Chain A
Amino acid sequence: MHFVAPQVIVKAVDGVSFSIRSRETFGLVGESGSGKTVTCRSILRLIHPPGEIVAGSIRYQNRELQNRELLTMPGSDFDRIRGREISMIFQDPMTALNPVLRIGNQILETLSKDDKASRQERTERAIQLMKMVGIPAPERRLREFPHQFSGGMRQRVMIAIALSRGPHLLLADEPTTAIDVTIQDQILKLLMRLQRELGMSMLFVTHDLGIVAQTCDTVAVMYAGRIVEQAATMTLFKAPHHPYTLGLIASVPSARSAGERLQPIPGSPPNLAHVPEGCRFHPRCAYASDECRQGEFPLREISPEHLSACIKDVR
């Protein structure tokens, strides 16, 4: 029998605001628990109770749909957004495919919604999709179950399903984190090629700055449920402004820094039930002073198209 337990309300994401342009790859980077996955999932309303979206706005537009608000859209309309306008691939290909349904079934179940195509035509389309993501012998593999696929192949299947209805925006939640390092690069290249060919936009969530540098046009760095810095990828790597971004870059091994000691950021991210007063990063920040402990620090434009939440100029 259940009785209500004492609860603490946690704001997983607070005051996060960004825009993704057409055909752009937008990176959302941060440590685990920084709110990047929650942000990504909330766009498709995939937040589980007891979590809930209490306020905010997500606007979407393309040629047919002018500036639609996604958060308050009725469920029946939202079904038309999911998969067809905005689609998503998940972190773990082992768990994101239904283990008891054949791969073909999982690809076809959404295709049947859009057109009145015959069974034959739809199967053709599924085979074509599997070829597109580079799965060999698609005719045979359509009849197999997920556990008969390797991790990399499952990730390809997931991409094929996510792209099956031609979405304009793909949300990629750490798409390479859970697969073998040797396969990661193949998947990244596949995603970048498909984005280019299909003319999609992409929201790329990752904790790996190396992947960001490789794939993204624009990056937002998240810390403790907030965006602390946002800029074009080149700008961010060449001229990072926020001490947290500096720390992240210093802690990544790169060709340039080979031989140097890696600098981990001291401390650990705050418990979101008890965020520190003032700048959320100040307890871990080498440059923190008294003023950092007071007040809210919104993003400000430090140069055109470059936003930072740090009030100092630490460079």
Chain B
Amino acid sequence: MSTPLVTAEHTGLRGMLRSASGGRSILRRNPALVVGGVLVLVMGLVAVFSNQIAPYDPIAQDWNNILQAPNAQHLLGTDNFGRDVLSRIISATPLDLQVGVLSVLFPFLIGIVVGMLSGYYGGIVDNVIMRLVDVVIAFPFMVLIIAIIAVMGPGLQNAVIAITVASWIIYARIIRGEILVAKNLEYVMAAKTLGYGNLRIMAIHILPNVITPAIVFAAVDVVLNILVASSLGFLGLGVQPPQAEWGALISSGRGFMTTGWWISTFPGIAIVIAGVGFALLADGLADLLRPGGFKS
């Protein structure tokens, strides 16, 4: 017998398997969902009760207290008209959240219907819709929105319309892609064999199974829309004065970079908090809605 070339002895090689069970609290299992949800909830409450929460009248000018740095009376300082920055940020909250959420709602609905038709029927319908998608995608997102607003005029309603025109395509693409896969699966075939109508198959059998990625993207999309809405406000193409809006607030501080850094800085932090809230919510939703439950 020759001597061994290799001798292997494994007394312990272990791997970790993640287990979805275990009865831990939801905070431990899906902290992104909890933290994101809480941030969004708090933002929502601030929006609803903005008039009650704001410590000062957001448009009241106080010429004795202009350009005050953050202090005990004015936690986030005052602007060049002596208006309380914190109160102005709070009073702008409902508006920005509104644009963010509304301009998700319409593209979501339109995109789902169009994407379903495109994916389910295929052929010429699909071809025409997809060429339309190609055309819309060729325009830079922000440029298309600005061009539409240039024609229609600024304002809350037009901002929502412009964002809708520019962003329905993403939902349509997501849903189309999912349907292309789903329509050849057995449960859809089965429904067809049973002679169900196309509409019924699409709405009852396919949609609930393919809508998850669209919902997850919608949460991310709220972040993008809040950024777009505030950018429009910054450019002077959004909601018009005297309505306070986060982007417009930041813009108003541009002339005071040396004398009042707080005027531009704090409204931006409000946007970041809202953005992070919805981004985490999207992450958490993705985890929650994914079958099997855990991310890599």
Instruction: Report A-B touching, CB under 8 Å.
Output: yes
Using a CB–CB distance below 8 Å, which chain B residues touch chain A?
A: 1-19, 22, 24, 28-29, 31-32, 280, 283, 294-295
The answer to whether A169 and B6 touch (CB under 8 A), given A2-B295, A6-B22, A6-B29, is: yes
CA distance A273 to B31 in the complex (A): 25
Are A53 and B13 in contact (CB-based, < 8 A)? yes
Cross-chain contact of A51 among B3, B15, B29, B295 (Cβ < 8 A) = B15
Our count of residue pairs bridging A and B at CB distance below 8 angstroms stands at 139
Cross-chain contact of A19 among B7, B15, B28, B29 (Cβ < 8 A) = B7
Are B13 and A59 in contact (CB-based, < 8 A)? no
Cross-chain contact of B18 among A5, A16, A17, A19 (Cβ < 8 A) = A5
Cross-chain contact of B5 among A42, A53, A54, A61 (Cβ < 8 A) = A61
Nearest opposing residue in chain B for A201, CB measure:
B5
Are A55 and B295 in contact (CB-based, < 8 A)? no
**Interface presence of A84 (CB below 8 A):** no
Residues of A within 8 A of B294 (CB): 5
Question: A186 → chain B, closest Cβ, in Å?
Answer: 27
Question: A231 → chain B, closest Cβ, in Å?
Answer: 15
CA distance A55 to B18 in the complex (A): 22
Give residues 271-305 of A contacting B (CB, 8 Å): 272-273
Give residues 151-203 of A contacting B (CB, 8 Å): 168-169, 201, 203
Are B4 and A19 in contact (CB-based, < 8 A)? yes
Are B8 and A16 in contact (CB-based, < 8 A)? yes
CA distance A59 to B7 in the complex (A): 5
Residues of A within 8 A of B6 (CB): 19-20, 43, 58-60, 86, 169, 201, 203
Cross-chain contact of B10 among A56, A169, A203 (Cβ < 8 A) = A56
Cross-chain contact of B16 among A7, A42, A60, A201 (Cβ < 8 A) = A7
Residues of B within 8 A of A52 (CB): 13-15
Residues of B within 8 A of A18 (CB): 7-9
Cross-chain contact of B8 among A9, A43, A273 (Cβ < 8 A) = A43
Q: How many A residues touch B, CB cutoff 8 Å?
A: 49
CA distance A62 to B3 in the complex (A): 10
Cross-chain contact of B15 among A1, A50, A58 (Cβ < 8 A) = A50
Nearest 4 pairs of A and B residues by beta carbon: A51-B15, A19-B4, A50-B16, A13-B13
Question: B74 → chain A, closest Cβ, in Å?
Answer: 33
Are A39 and B13 in contact (CB-based, < 8 A)? yes
Can you name 9 A-B pairs with beta carbons within 8 Å? A6-B18, A12-B14, A15-B10, A15-B11, A50-B16, A54-B12, A58-B6, A59-B6, A59-B8
Nearest opposing residue in chain A for B30, CB measure:
A3
CA distance A273 to B3 in the complex (A): 37
Are B12 and A53 in contact (CB-based, < 8 A)? yes
CA distance A13 to B9 in the complex (A): 10
Cross-chain contact of A3 among B5, B15, B31 (Cβ < 8 A) = B31
Residues of A within 8 A of B16 (CB): 7-10, 50-51
Residue of B8, B9, B18, B24 contacting most chain A CB atoms (<10 Å): B8
**Interface presence of A79 (CB below 8 A):** no
CA distance A110 to B12 in the complex (A): 32
Question: B48 → chain A, closest Cβ, in Å?
Answer: 27
Nearest opposing residue in chain B for A13, CB measure:
B13
CA distance A15 to B16 in the complex (A): 18
**Interface presence of A143 (CB below 8 A):** no
CA distance A290 to B18 in the complex (A): 32
Residues of A within 8 A of B280 (CB): 1
Residues of B within 8 A of A38 (CB): 13, 15
Residue of A5, A12, A24, A38 contacting most chain B CB atoms (<10 Å): A5
Are B22 and A39 in contact (CB-based, < 8 A)? no
CA distance A19 to B6 in the complex (A): 5
The answer to whether A10 and B9 touch (CB under 8 A), given A2-B295, A5-B294, is: no
Residues of A within 8 A of B295 (CB): 2
Residues of A within 8 A of B28 (CB): 3, 6
**Interface presence of A102 (CB below 8 A):** no
CA distance A43 to B8 in the complex (A): 8
CA distance A94 to B287 in the complex (A): 31
Are A39 and B8 in contact (CB-based, < 8 A)? yes
Residues of B within 8 A of A59 (CB): 4, 6-8
Residues of A within 8 A of B2 (CB): 21-23
**Interface presence of A57 (CB below 8 A):** yes
Are A168 and B5 in contact (CB-based, < 8 A)? yes
CA distance A264 to B22 in the complex (A): 34
